[in-house]
Amino acid sequence: MSSPLRLGIAGLGTVGVGLVRIIQRNADLLALRAGRPIEITAVCARSRTRNRGVDISGYAWEDDPVTLVRRDDVDLVVELMGGENGPAKALTEAAIAAGKDVVTANKALLAMHGLDLARAAEEAGVALRFEAAVAGGIPVIKALSEGLAGNRISCVKGVMNGTCNYILTRMEDAGLPYETVFEEANQLGYLEADPTLDVGGIDAAHKLTLLSAIAFGVQPDFDAITTTGIERISIEDIRAAADLRLRIKLLGVARLSGRGLEQSMSPCLVPADSPLGQLKGGTNMVVIEGDAIEQVILRGPGAGEGPTASAVIGDIIDIARGLRLPVFGQPVATLQPAVSARATAAKPWYLRMTLLDKPGALAKVAEALGNAGVSINRMRQYGHEDTRAPVVIITHKTTRDAIDHAASLALATGVLVGEPVAMAIEAD
């Protein structure tokens, strides 16, 4: 058997400890599959004394992540600290500069600096792998860059943030308002330290940035994604959706059209009985459409110690086997700037508005929609609240631009209380 692959692990939190556990538990299996032993030689975290529930006494300790990289007994650096800048970026750059392969789970780092890091890795001839950065335990990066590499991809979409899916599912199952479930999720430790990363759709948009780069051969560009969070979804929306046999999901969609690449991360409605509609709790799902496969659906745990560490070790085994792949599936110089297109695909839309309960209000709104070229398919009124009348409108197929125009005309009528909530209805 060949010489061991020696790891330096920076970060011993949820994922880092998960990785240590897999390596300790499955050492023989890993050696057989990788063709050489996989050993941890050095680790690094902030607190040296914290009990992490695993035995790390056999590994050298480094206080400084960059020092870890410079050790002669570290061949491959595993970055599991997180954060878009700071130590994670410094460590990754230092590892590449030192000619060492890197495996990371850090979507923020790659979504914001992926192009520069990929270029540096390519020039240095080192691997930079990030399976764990997207959809936790689902091997979606591998699926896109290897198994489906022969396809022209037309669409990648899915649910990629388990916390948002947990919140939306729990609101429906327990009939609870957003604020209550948000607080529950916080108590359970499901939210990032900065919760807007989750509920603002940013974490999921980071992931879509990476999938788009591989699927469509574009430079990773987080700013090209139109991102809307779930903060404005109310229990009324959840109930109205259920009434229409639909469910609300924070859905990422990257779709290639004649005009360019439409990329959005936003709450959408999907049929309740569809695979996306049936997705519960923290589970993730990615739907990939290509010219040869038509559609492939991948579903699995989107986060957590075991699933995320499983994705990390998969990358490590590939490197141990000597597999070398371009970071984003093709040479960096061939990645094109993402020509972002406004979503032009016509879809039915859901509009929820609260009208002042006075004669002619509904007619004014209907006229505003008509003036924007939006025609109404169905309309439901959900009981009066004092002087207010909540109304849900399902439109015939129309574009995002027309909906935005209709919403601004409706607001200008002066008969609305607050802004309308608009969500596209995505067929599965």
How many CB atoms neighbour CB 29 within 10 A?
A: 10
Binding region for ligand NAP (CB under 6 A) out of 76-84, 117-125, 174-182, 409-417: 76-84
**Helix (H) or strand (E) run with residue 165 in it:** helix 162-174
Is residue 47 near ligand NAP by the rule CB under 6 A?
yes
Nearer to ligand NAP, 50 or 380 (CB): 50
Binding-site string for ligand NAP from residue 81 to residue 100, where x marks contact by CB under 6 A and - marks none: xx----x-------------
Nearest residue to ligand NAP on Cβ basis: 13
Inter-CA distances, 416 with 10, 47, 373, Å = 53, 54, 19
Is residue 78 near ligand NAP by the rule CB under 6 A?
no
- Long-range (24+ apart) CB contacts under 8 A made by 301-304 are 301/136, 301/137, 301/138, 301/162, 302/135, 302/136, 302/137, 302/138, 302/159, 302/160, 302/161, 302/162, 302/165, 303/136, 303/162, 303/163, 304/14, 304/18, 304/136, 304/137
Nearer to ligand NAP, 86 or 150 (CB): 86
With a CB cutoff of 8 Å and minimum separation 6, the contacts of 185 are: 163, 166, 167, 170, 191
Is residue 196 near ligand NAP by the rule CB under 6 A?
no
CA–CA gap between residue 179 and residue 187 (Å, rounded)? 12
Smallest gap from Cβ 18 to ligand NAP, in A, equals 8
Length of the chain: 428
Is residue 161 near ligand NAP by the rule CB under 6 A?
no
What's phi and psi for 338, nearest 5 deg? -70, 110
Smallest gap from Cβ 106 to ligand NAP, in A, equals 4
Binding-site string for ligand NAP from residue 118 to residue 137, where x marks contact by CB under 6 A and - marks none: --------------x---x-
Closest CA to 380 of 417, 347, 352, 357: 352
Smallest gap from Cβ 208 to ligand NAP, in A, equals 14
Is residue 65 near ligand NAP by the rule CB under 6 A?
yes
With a CB cutoff of 8 Å and minimum separation 6, the contacts of 314 are: 131, 139, 142
Applying CB under 6 A, among 105, 265, 279, 319 the residue interacting with ligand NAP is: 105
Nearer to ligand NAP, 130 or 178 (CB): 130
Is residue 260 near ligand NAP by the rule CB under 6 A?
no
Beta bridge partners of 44: 10, 62
- Any idea which residues carry the catalytic annotation? 207
Binding region for ligand NAP (CB under 6 A) out of 75-83, 210-218, 331-339, 359-367: 75-83
Is residue 214 near ligand NAP by the rule CB under 6 A?
no
Smallest gap from Cβ 6 to ligand NAP, in A, equals 19
Applying CB under 6 A, among 41, 92, 106, 398 the residue interacting with ligand NAP is: 106
Binding region for ligand NAP (CB under 6 A) out of 102-110, 146-154, 361-369, 419-427: 102-110
CA–CA gap between residue 366 and residue 293 (Å, rounded)? 42
Which residues bind to ligand NAP, rule: CB under 6 A?
11-16, 44-47, 50, 65, 80-82, 87, 105-107, 132, 136, 303-304, 308
